[in-house]
Structure 1
Amino acid sequence: MLKKSGFYFCLFLCLFIKPVFAEEIIDRIVAIVNGEIITLFELNERVKPYLERFKGKELGPAEKQAIRELKKQLLDQMINDILLRQEAEKYKIEVSDMEIENFIRQFKQRNNLTEEQFLNQLKLQGLTREDYKRQVRNNIIKHRLIGAMVKRKVVVTQEEIERYYNEHKQDFDTEKKVHLKLILLPTLEEAKQIRNKIMAGEMTFEQAAKKFSQGPSAESGGDLGFVNWKDLAKEWKQAIKGLKQGEITSVFSLNNKGAILKVEESLSGQPKPLKEVEDEIRKIIYQPRLEERFREYMRSLREKAVIDIRI
């Protein structure tokens, strides 16, 4: 998947944006990073793919402010890109064009995409092929730098793995299943009102689901059937944790809507032995530490760098 930062910016901007390049016509320096310059033209070129689809729309003050914030964030990314590249050059880390093309070829093969389909996917996310190649290059460099400078400083002990296992045994049940019913409403407030009616005995959960729910199986009282515990999203697990048969959850957010779950029945399973899940637990503990260590690494690079931002 193209899990890149440009994708999230694009989703955010879909609410309200058109280009405002006309406000800044003259090219100028917007940042200097250890003597290497970033120009306004380069920044606008980075911003342009995200805004092109909104050309011709009128912008209010809030939208213009949003674009300014976007530019600042993209400039920040460009600065980080330069710092990573400079650090890669320092340690003689190189990524060839052939490596990048091989990565793209394998990506297309895994996802059964033709070149045209691939380009269309990029376009939907506001990216050009060159944008994507740059991101691939930066990511390969990032991972190699992480391997050289970061990973060796992240440690997960056997004691931590055992403690996590003992505290989350139910997450590793082999057969634990739970029979759930769901009520899904447009807002948290509406869900709270319906839950209050259920708790007051004004209607049953099933009656409320049939009448008000906008979720799956509403006509069947919101009945989702049995679901494997391991397949439940974290929010669902947290919501139903500790509930007994017949009890309902507090209202919680599900895809920006108000949700209520009812535990109809629970079938307990046996937890897998620690040896079988040890690697999985190590990854669970390791990943957030690795990400935090990388953020610290980037902060240290920025603190040591000479950065002059002029925007």
Structure 2
Amino acid sequence: MKRHTAILLLLAALLVGCTGDTDDIGIVARVNGAPIHLSQLEFQHDQFQEDSVGAYVPSVEKLRREYGEILSDLIVQELVVQELARRDLSVTDEELRKAEDAVRADYPEGAFDQVLVEEYIDLKSWRTQLRYYLAQKKFFQQVLRPQIKIDYKEAEKYYRDHISDFYLPESMRILVVRGPSRELVVKAVDKYLKDHDQMSLATAFGEVETREVVVREGRLSAPWRTALTGLKPGQASDVLTDRFGFEALVLLERSEAKVLPPAQAYPLVEEALLEKKMESAFEEWLSATLAKADIQVSEHLLESASKPGEGDSGGSDAVTEEPEEPADQTMDQVPPPDVSRDDMRQDDGEGQDPADEAIPMDQVGTDSGI
């Protein structure tokens, strides 16, 4: 999720130190009474830092900033969960089970649990974050999305104002035929040009591999550019040699440079406008929710941030310190491990993916104790 300065400042105005009750040991914050545990904070931090483990020893100030940013994320996620509960839209155990099963299905039997062990990932913490992820997805789809309308005039204006974003350069659709010898590649290409059956090549020539690619002409490698020069659709290049073997290129289709017409560009326009409006709607909801929320953070966390030489005097400043981020970065929902969102792409009907060119379309912690 993108971290917004305004949101973190609102959080700072609401933060109140928790007392040191024994029952609060291991809790770093409460959101309207609901606890956020230190284990959740540590789990998220470990996931974000897994690629740099052992690379360096982070400073206390850097750790404080990272934990503060993660905690702010967890607070927002808990507010989303509570909003869904008020609307009787909470993520059910069945929905959680199905989502977990979908992740496990991407692994061979038993491999998912093995990965958890090898990566020191606590399954309970992973499921907690998966539930948060599902809650945010449901919140955006079932709460925010129905509120948003896109007027056709608005879409037309966006298209006109961003017409250059819908320019598609010249591209080629190519069949690449590879094999261990020049003679085998030549025979495979001849057979394809005769019957135009790509699938039969693997049967007829077991060592031959084929793949179909779409390449923009400006991104062709020098050897491919030379080999394709002068070819017409349906013709094949000479056999090329490289250190990996032999290959030939069959030009299937050449698409001229063009600008996507409004009808084909509309899905991309709608996606861009929807993303902006969803972000605006979320920030509006979050600002109103924070204004009446009871958010408490461990007094030990606040005190540790006010030690001389470790930052500004205000305890909440440690919570709100925020690294500078590009202004045009969009909100991103934090996915659980091994869960990814499908790319939103729109095919222009000619094998080219216009989304590539069309629309160039936030965390405090110490040891336990409160």
Contact 2:43 2:125 (8 Å CA) reproduced: no
Cα distance change of structure 1 residues 167 and 51 upon mapping to structure 2, 3 Å threshold: closer
Contact 2:148 2:274 (8 Å CA) reproduced: yes
Distance 2:270 2:54 in 1: 51
Distance 2:117 2:287 in 1: 32
* TM superposition score normalised by structure 2: 0.44
Q: Which position in structure 2 is the counterpart of 1:248?
A: none
In structure 2, give the amino acid aligned to 1:38: I
Task: Choose from 67, 71, 90 the match for 2:67.
Answer: 71
Q: What SS does the aligned partner of 1:65 have? A: helix
In structure 1, give the amino acid aligned to 2:271: K
Task: Choose from 96, 100, 108 the match for 1:100.
Answer: 96
- Structure with higher RCO (Cα < 8 A, 6+ apart): 2
Cα distance change of structure 1 residues 155 and 53 upon mapping to structure 2, 3 Å threshold: closer
RMSD: 4.0
Contact 1:177 1:227 (8 Å CA) reproduced: yes
Distance 1:270 1:53 in 2: 41
Aligned positions of 1:12-91 closer than 5 A: 27=25, 29-40=27-38, 43-44=41-42, 46-47=44-45, 59=57, 63-91=59-87
In structure 2, give the amino acid aligned to 1:37: P
Matched, 1:177 2:165: no
Distance 1:48 1:296 in 2: 31
Matched, 1:165 2:154: no
Distance 1:160 1:105 in 2: 41
Distance 1:123 1:93 in 2: 33
Contact 1:27 1:40 (8 Å CA) reproduced: no
Cα distance change of structure 1 residues 124 and 274 upon mapping to structure 2, 3 Å threshold: farther
Cα offset, 1:103, TM superposition: 2.0
Question: How many residues in Structure 1 have an aligned counterpart in Structure 2?
Answer: 202
* TM superposition score normalised by structure 1: 0.52
Contact 1:27 1:41 (8 Å CA) reproduced: no
Q: Which has more radius of gyration?
A: 2
Cα offset, 1:291, TM superposition: 2.3
Cα distance change of structure 1 residues 89 and 144 upon mapping to structure 2, 3 Å threshold: same
Aligned positions of 1:1-311 closer than 5 A: 27=25, 29-40=27-38, 43-44=41-42, 46-47=44-45, 59=57, 63-109=59-105, 112-114=106-108, 116-119=110-113, 127-173=121-167, 176-177=169-170, 227=216, 269-310=257-298, 311=301
Distance 2:109 2:62 in 1: 33
Cα distance change of structure 1 residues 126 and 309 upon mapping to structure 2, 3 Å threshold: same
Contact 1:119 1:128 (8 Å CA) reproduced: no
Q: What SS does the aligned partner of 1:308 have? A: strand
Q: What SS does the aligned partner of 1:113 have? A: coil
Distance 2:100 2:47 in 1: 20
Cα distance change of structure 1 residues 119 and 157 upon mapping to structure 2, 3 Å threshold: farther
